[in-house]
Amino acid sequence: MPETLSQSLSPAGAPSGSSVADNLAAVKDAMRRAIAHHGVDQPLPTVVAVSKRHPVERIVPLLDAGHRVFGENQVQEAQDKWPALKERFADVSLHLLGPLQSNKVADAVALFDVIESLDREKIARRLRDQMVAQGRKPRLFVQVNTGEEPQKSGVLPGDLADFIRLCREDLKLDIDGLMCIPPVEEDAAVHFAFLKELARRHGLARLSMGMSGDYPVAAAVGTDYVRVGTAIFGARPRA
Ligand SMILES: *Cc1c(COP(=O)(O)O)cnc(C)c1O
């Protein structure tokens, strides 16, 4: 039986003792190998370095090494860490990956450059209002619950067409792309291919998929962003 994408591609770990910059280089190498191994003509994805729960001292070395794209999953935590870093490193692009509460929308619009977790009408409406009020336009991704897991955020695939129509036509929001987090126990490649097909169907240009456990698979399927935390920064400290 031919091996599946997921079986053939094991991600790089984050060996303790290696620097975060070395770990990032290893992540990029693993993606290059995955793309070459499958003979697919995919561009190298941009790595969103997921720094959630890691202190500023862990983040600065990666900024010093020249990396500029980072992800956080809580607005409050990002507000504590990133305004000062953004002053020092002006060209940082900060992605919000976690669920957005309506009382945090104004702060999120003020701080983030990309919001990857849009999945509700109420939040879409507040985003529109805040983007107009602040004159800021973070790029928006719709999170899709490809595994239809009850506990997980994201628009259900069957509701996606209506949600995108609401965003585009009623709210005049530009949607950049789609994001997903596949169910842990399933073949990620199947979910990545599904997300890619949904994006194509809706005329969306970009994808965000792949985490420490499956980013080489996402790179081989083809994605604009992978969101990698543990493989770069090591295990997260407890919240
Ligand atoms: C934490 C998180 C990641 C990174 O997870 P790792 O397994 O540590 O790479 C990626 N995406 C989202 C939405 C996350 O919350």
Whole-number pLDDT of residue 18: 84
Which residues fall within 8 angstroms of residue 201, CB to CB, at 6 or more apart? none
In this prediction, residues 50-71 reach a mean pLDDT of 98
Whole-number pLDDT of residue 17: 67
| Interior/surface letters 28-55, b for 16+ CB within 10 angstroms, e for the rest | bebbeebbeebeeebeebebbbbbbbbe
For residue 229, report the distance from its CA to the centre of ligand 1, in Å.
6
3-state secondary structure 91-150: CCEEEECCCCCHHHHHHHHHHCCEEEEECCHHHHHHHHHHHHHHCCCCEEEEEECCCCCC
Whole-number pLDDT of residue 2: 43
Q: DSSP assignment, residue 178?
A: E
> From the alpha carbon of 233, which atom of ligand 1 is closest?
8
CB distance 111 to 103 below 8 Å: no
pLDDT tens digits along 148-169: 999 999 999 999 999 999 999 9
Tokens of 94: 């900060």
| C-alpha distances out from residue 135 to 7, 115, 138, 162, 203, Å | 46, 16, 10, 26, 26
Whole-number pLDDT of residue 144: 98
Q: Would you say the CB of residue 97 lies under 6 angstroms from ligand 1?
A: yes
In this prediction, residues 13-41 reach a mean pLDDT of 89
Q: Would you say the CB of residue 177 lies under 6 angstroms from ligand 1?
A: no
CB distance 238 to 221 below 8 Å: no
Q: DSSP assignment, residue 12?
A: P
Q: Would you say the CB of residue 51 lies under 6 angstroms from ligand 1?
A: no
Residue 11: pLDDT band (50, 70, 90) is low
For residue 170, report the distance from its CA to the centre of ligand 1, in Å.
31
In this prediction, residues 55-81 reach a mean pLDDT of 98
Q: Which of 48, 50, 225, 228 to mutate to test the pocket of ligand 1 (most atoms within 8 A of CB)?
A: 50
Whole-number pLDDT of residue 135: 98
For residue 51, report the distance from its CA to the centre of ligand 1, in Å.
9
For residue 210, report the distance from its CA to the centre of ligand 1, in Å.
9
- Give the largest Cα separation in the chain, rounded: 57
Q: Is 230 helix (H, G, I), strand (E, B) or coil?
A: helix
Q: Would you say the CB of residue 226 lies under 6 angstroms from ligand 1?
A: no
| CA nearest neighbour of 220 among 20, 9, 71 | 9
Whole-number pLDDT of residue 171: 98
CB distance 217 to 9 below 8 Å: yes
Domain ranges in the chain are 20-233
Residue 39: pLDDT band (50, 70, 90) is confident
Whole-number pLDDT of residue 114: 98
Tokens of 23: 């770990």
Nearest CA to ligand 1 atom 11: 227
pLDDT tens digits along 92-143: 999 999 999 999 999 999 999 999 999 999 999 999 999 999 999 999 999 9
For residue 227, report the distance from its CA to the centre of ligand 1, in Å.
6
In CATH terms, the fold of domain 20-233 is TIM Barrel (3.20.20)
